[in-house]
Each structure stands twice: as C-alpha cells, then as structure tokens.
Chain A
C-alpha cells in the first residue's frame, strides 16, 4: 500500500505573472523616485548613505584638526563654519561637542545601519533567494522615505543657530534633557529625537520586510541550509532590529516627555545656578539601561551584514567553499542572541553591583568565542585557496584584520575591573572604531566593489580600487592604533583640548599624526567616489557573471528589470559554495545547476539527489517507499 500524492510542478509559480512585463512601465517619478522596486530602493539607500558618510567624515576631520593642531588658526574655514569659529579662529568648544555627537550619530545610524543594511538587504535579499521583489514593495518604499525624512531633519539640525545635538551620540540625560545644560540640548536635541523616531520607523518597516521576504518568498529548493551567508546575516540583523529598536523608541519617548512635558523619568535633584529644578524621583541610569539595550545589539546590526558580505566575497575570491558554513550560521546566531544580554558592559562605572558586573563580564567575554570561530573560518577559507585579490576581496580581508585587532581590545574592555581605568578613554574610541566602525565600513566598501557590476551593469576600475584600499587600510590603522596608547595613558574622550592640562599635553605629536592620517584617509575616499560615479556612466560593460560566482543574482540579465528574471525564476539545487569542486569542469557550479548535469563532480550522496530531481520537474520528494 502506498499513497501516491503527486502534484506535478506547474511551469510557473505564483508571483511569476509579475515577470518582466513591468519593466518599461511608469514615468520618471514612479521609476526613480517613489519606486517600489527593491533595486532602485537599494540604490537610494546607497546614495543617501554615501552622502551621509561624506558629511560624517568631514565632521571628523574638523574635530581632528582641533585635536591634532590645537594652536592652529582655522580662520580659512570661516566661510563654512561661520559663527562656530571663535574670533581667534578656533572651533567653538560647544560646537566641538556637537561635531563628535553628529559624527557618531551619522556614522552609526545613517551610514552603517541604513546605508549598509538598507542597501544590501534590499538589493541582495530578493536577488539571492530568487524572488521577484520584496514581500511588500510599498512598505519598502515607505521605509526609504521615512529614512529620507529622518535624514532631512537631521541635516537641517546641522544648520540651526543653537547648533545640532551635542550630548554625545548616546544622548545621556540630564545633559540631553535640559536645554540650560548646553546649547545643543535645545532645538538641536529636539530635532535629533524627531529624526531618530522617524529613523526607527524606517528601520522597523525595512526589517519586517526583510524577514518576511526571506521566510516566505524563497524560490524552489532554496532551503535555509542553501541560503548564502549574506542572507543569513541580513535575516539575523533584521530580527535584532525588530527586537531592539522599539526599546530605543521607548527610551527616546520618555526623554521627549522629560524634555517637553515636565515629567521626571530621568531627572532628579538637579540644581542650575543655585536653583533646584522641580523634577524629582527620576533616574539617569534608567536611560542608560534602555539606551544600551538597543545600543549593544545596534553594534551587531552594524557588523553582521558586513560579516555576511565578507563571507560571500572571501569564498568567491578564494575559489573555495566557505569553511564551516554551519559554524558560520551558528556563530552569527549565537552573537545575535548574546548581543541582548551584554548591554550593561557599557555601564560598569555607573555604580552597578560588582557581582552583576562580573556576570556581564562573563557574558561579554563569551562573545569572543563565536567571533573567533568566524575569524578562524575566514582564515581557513583563504588557506590554500586560489585567491584573486580583487578590491572587494582586499576590503574583505581588511575587515577580518580590523575585526581581529579591534575585537581583541574588546576582551580588555569587557572586564569590569580593567574598564575602570579604560572607561571613556581613547582606548574605547580605538576599540569600537576598529571593530565596528572600520570593519563595517570595509564590509560596505567590499559590497559596493563586489556588487557594483550587478547594480549598474558596469565594472569599477581595479587600480583605483587598490589605491583606495591601501590608503584607507593603512590610514585607518594609523588613525586608530596610536589611540590605544593615548587611551591607556588615560586620555578621556570627548575633551575639547588637552593642552590646558600639563598631564595631557604629552601626546601632542601622536595626536598630530592621527589627525594627518585621518585627513589622508578622508581624501582617499574621493578616489573611491570618482571611481564609483565615473564608472556608473563610463565603466566598461560588465559580463553577466564577472566574478564567476555561484549565487542566483548572477543568473539575472546584466541590468535586471523589474521582476529580476526574464521568464521563470531559477530553481535551486545546491548550496551556494560549490567552488573548485574536485572533478568539475569549471571552478564554480552555480546554485541553479542540478546535480544531474554534473555527474563528474558529484559526491555519492549527491548522486542520490539526482533521483529526486527527476521526481517531477523541480519537485522534491519528501518520502519514498518501496512497494
């Protein structure tokens, strides 16, 4: 007795009717501005993110000028900075604080969250899982326009007369809650909060879409074990976003009430000019708990997509399967879970219970394990590979380097005892700029170099890419490595100047070196910018699969139209890392090639799968019984 339950696979599946017939509809507005196509939205995120990266980078050069050359006359910047320069041609101390605040906010949220996740999740999720578009194109469009609105408000806040928010990107109250405290805590802070509220809405809309798409819209045969690691990374990032951004929203909401409606969630016992404020019973530590419950997962929202992109690029350009696919997925999952239970390591010196501190130390140090697994797997993937040093590959290897050097200092900082000395010094600045800032930035750059041919149908110039890489790579180390020494020596971060204190004036030369390196690194980015913009229009035409990669996006036309694939979406038969498979004719076998077409390279268990492939056009046998 056998039950036969055969559903022959019909030629199309349900969203095929979306095909390419949509490709040439729509006017300028619906095609390029209020587009619902995931590729256009991805580019919108990319361009906005790049604009923000330039602004954020410029701000950092400004405050590096102050730190490296405290005596210099910056009068020549008067046309740009206007009233923010003192009559002696120095940066106004309060404006300095605004500069570091906006640099942090812009880089963390606008560049490395929206610019990175927004670009690559939008671009790659449908292309790599084999979907026509995101689950909801409309929500996707809303996500970008909320981000745009949020960007516009943040941008405007840069130009108001009281200056933008200046309480640090972590906006700790009471500094951020009281307009009397600092001029940036007036209108600038209000705009910051409004902008971030919109940003959270944008991020949630995006995340809901990413998760829904990955779970519900995969093409035939694309099981979770056959997903490229990029998709795993974007998927986990979106889950972290959905769980952590509402908490930031709650923190910001209570802060808004404290600022504008007179509540006392975070304020208590404050005297200004001898006068006691009416606020009683609040707790500023409460804000830190809420903020870092988002803030720490946010680190991984920034980093995981970069790690996913890197996994893909390193495997492709080593011409080897990724080492330990399951370990990679497992470690990302583990990192994602751990990211929610370590937030208090940002608060070791708030007077928390030392026992609690040691628990958070333990949990924090455990993150070293999955991180080390990832680095080990990157290195072992490279090991004995036929490495092609494309610019994307170099940036990916650069990421691994930063992830290692920056991660190691995390082990120091994660110790509640060591942190007493290092807290809020340049050691912290060096740590997170390497492990989160530079590593994620390099991941983003790697992604741009690697998927530029798919985005714009043209190739970027490799030589300029190499120049960009080496200047940036060396520049980043020259900027952040000396900061470790400065930090161990006890230099606090966010200080306007050190020359006023005898103790702190010792490292002036080192600070000068850092500043020069920062300026060179910044200038190097213009090489990239030229390479990027010029080759969108003039680059040589890209072949369909320039990197000989296995994933589905390279099976689309050179410039995929709306709907991505002309005709049917390819079916997936194998995992995405069949590089240099012994016996195979070429050194890569794309995911949509069935095992029946590659008898020469199949492993024994894969030969068994051929039978399944024959079971019906594209059908999958779930149970087989002998009669």
Chain B
C-alpha cells in the first residue's frame, strides 16, 4: 500500500446473503407448509365460531406424542453437532434414533386416532372431529416425509458423506425436523386451547 493516506476496507464483492440456496429453499418450503397449517387452523376458528360444534377431549396419548417429538428434536440436534465434530459413529446412532422416534410419534398419533374412534369421534361427522383428523393427518404425512429425509441422511452417513465438511444435508434435515416439532407443539397447544 503505497498511498499512505487512505486505507480501504474492501470486502469481496457481494455474494449477497451467504446462505446456501438449498437451505434457503427449505426455509421457503417451510413457509408454504406453515401457510397450509395456518389456513387450516384459521378455518377451524372460523368454523368453530359458527356454533354446532362437537366437544370432545383430545386423546391423552397426544401428551406422549408431544414428549416423543420434543425428545426427537434433541437427538436430531445431537446428530447435527456430532456431524460438525466429525463423530461419524454418533451421527449414525442419533439419526437412526431420531428416525425411530419419528415413527414412534406417528404410531402414537395413530393410537390417538383409535382412541377417538373408540369414543365415536369419526372423520365423517361433525367438522370438529374432521378438522382434528385432517390437521393431525397432514402433520403426520409431513413427518413421514421428514423420516424419509432422515433415511437419506442415514444413507449418506454410511457412505461417509456426513461430516464437518459436508453438513448441508444434515443441517437442512435438522431444520425441517425442528420445524415439524415446533409445528406440532403449536398445533397441540392450539387444539387444546380451542376445544
């Protein structure tokens, strides 16, 4: 630097927002999934306000589902941290554990449905029950899609493609998993409060 007068702080010309396009795409996808559930819960509120609304208690097993999905978020996060620390073996264990917990969640939701049926709350009937089946069902479908995603991550980890240098896939998966967890907690609170 020969010109002694002014120093310039120069940054590499903007690679504007340093986010990986795939990660960003996942956030946008989550936004649209969120809108789907927002519209369903809004429809729920609108419909409920019109009266003729069947009252019934939520299946108690939904508490278990909620606990399972919260724990699965923890294991998912541990898997991600392990990937960053290159602890490949633990990644595999944690991802597998998360997938199993995910399936346990879906089964627990299914048991909740059976409980509803036992109490004569059916898909066909008062919209109060129909909404519950549709909302929980749609969420379960998304969760199954996330479990499939987890299996892809598991496959990658067995091919040694999940480590501190390749975190994008597992990071996107982690984001999606947390999103579905938070979404379920929101839905559970919503359904509990607006009976």
Interface residues of A (CB under 8 A from B): 2-7, 9, 13-14, 135-136, 139, 204, 207-209, 211-213, 215-218, 220-223, 242-247, 249-251, 253-254, 257, 261-265, 280-283, 286, 289-290, 293, 571, 615-616, 618-627
Contacts and interface: CB of A to CB of B under 8 A. Distances in A.
Interface stretch (B57-65, B100-108, B126-134): B126-134
Given A208-B28, A289-B43, A625-B7, A223 B21 contact: no
A301 B41 CA distance: 24
A257 B134 CA distance: 9
B16 A215 contact: yes
Given A243-B35, A263-B130, A615 B123 contact: no
Given A244-B35, A623-B9, 19 more contacts: A4-B1, A4-B8, A208-B25, A212-B21, A216-B19, A242-B31, A242-B35, A243-B35, A246-B32, A250-B40, A264-B124, A265-B47, A281-B54, A283-B50, A283-B127, A619-B12, A625-B9, A626-B5, A627-B7
A334 to B, nearest CB: 20
30 contacts: A4-B9, A6-B10, A207-B28, A213-B21, A223-B14, A243-B32, A243-B35, A246-B36, A247-B36, A250-B36, A250-B43, A253-B134, A261-B124, A262-B123, A263-B123, A263-B127, A263-B130, A264-B124, A265-B43, A265-B47, A265-B130, A265-B131, A281-B52, A281-B53, A619-B12, A621-B9, A624-B6, A624-B7, A625-B6, A627-B4
Contacts, number: 167
Interface residues of B, number: 48
Given A7-B10, A242-B31, A212 B47 contact: no
Contacts of B9: 3-5, 621-625
B119 interface: no
B10 A619 contact: yes
A620 B14 contact: yes
Contacts of B128: 281
A293 B8 contact: no
B152 to A, nearest CB: 15
B36 A286 contact: no
Contacts of A283: 46-47, 50, 127
Nearest 7 pairs of A and B residues by beta carbon:
A135-B21, A246-B36, A220-B13, A246-B35, A247-B39, A2-B7, A623-B9
Given A9-B12, A280-B126, A289-B46, A626 B6 contact: yes
Interface string B42-80: 110011001011100000000000000000000000000
B13 A621 contact: no
Contact of A621 (B1, B10, B33, B138): B10
Output the residue of B7, B10, B17 with the most chain A CB within 10 A: B10
Given A250-B36, A282-B127, A616 B10 contact: yes
B46 A139 contact: no
Interface string B169-187: 0000000000000000000
A265 B48 CA distance: 11
A390 to B, nearest CB: 33
B123 to A, nearest CB: 6
A254 B44 CA distance: 12
Contact of B24 (A3, A216, A254, A625): A216
A7 B11 contact: yes
A215 B25 CA distance: 11
- In this complex, the member of B6, B29, B32, B53 whose beta carbon has the largest number of chain A beta carbons within 10 angstroms is B32
B159 interface: no
Contacts of B19: 215-216
Contacts of A242: 28, 31-32, 35
A597 to B, nearest CB: 18
B165 interface: no
A216 B16 contact: yes
